[in-house]
Structure 1
Amino acid sequence: MSLPQQVAKELLNASNDADLKQMEQDQTECLTIYQSTHDRLEAFNEFSKARYQNINKHFESHTTMLKEMKRDLDSVFAKLRKINIKLQQKYPDEMRQAREKHPAPEIEED
């Protein structure tokens, strides 16, 4: 005989109504706890989803802004390099003197 059949047989043979009512009460209590927990988890998931969407929106806008800033800085530095090359060609002595007086900073690599 399988376990479910054995449990069903025991329940049918139970003569004590108080025991059956207690089991029903316990099952109802478990169901209430389960439903309450489910509702809380559902509310938490909805809250988390809303917060994630909000944060993700901010993250994407910041990422876009950083990419635009990098593009702008690349453009500025490219223009500075072109100006520097033209100045070196037009005023080589002055550029040499300026470099001697103000050497380029040394940047350590990580």
Structure 2
Amino acid sequence: LAVDNINLEIRDGEIFGLIGHNGAGKSTTLNSMVGIIDDFVGTITINNLDRKKDSLELKRIIGYVSDSPDKFLKLRAKTLWNFIADIYGVSSEERKTRLDYMLEK
């Protein structure tokens, strides 16, 4: 197990860090919290939202920078554009308008 029986509470305004050796479960914990890993047992609650039930809503309120952002470099531009538009709830019509505008620039 990468992570077993973790329980933590981070209050508004607190700065929190995970420290540990390679393989301790730091990245697994964060990836589970932000929705990159969906296969976990138990409950993750952030701002009273359940990570499994309210995944899209949580993605809208969490800012996350991966320790290996090169994952996004492998995506096609259109896939990345749609991914970001999905997170922010941008409609199909608005996506086209914004994309046309940015491509023109």
Larger Rg: 1
More helix by share: 1
Q: Same fold (TM over 0.5)?
A: no
Pairwise TM-score range, normalised by the shorter structure: under 0.3
Normalising by structure 1, what TM-score? 0.19
TM-score normalized with structure 2 length = 0.19
Higher relative CO (CA 8 A, sep ≥ 6), structure 1 or 2? Answer: 2
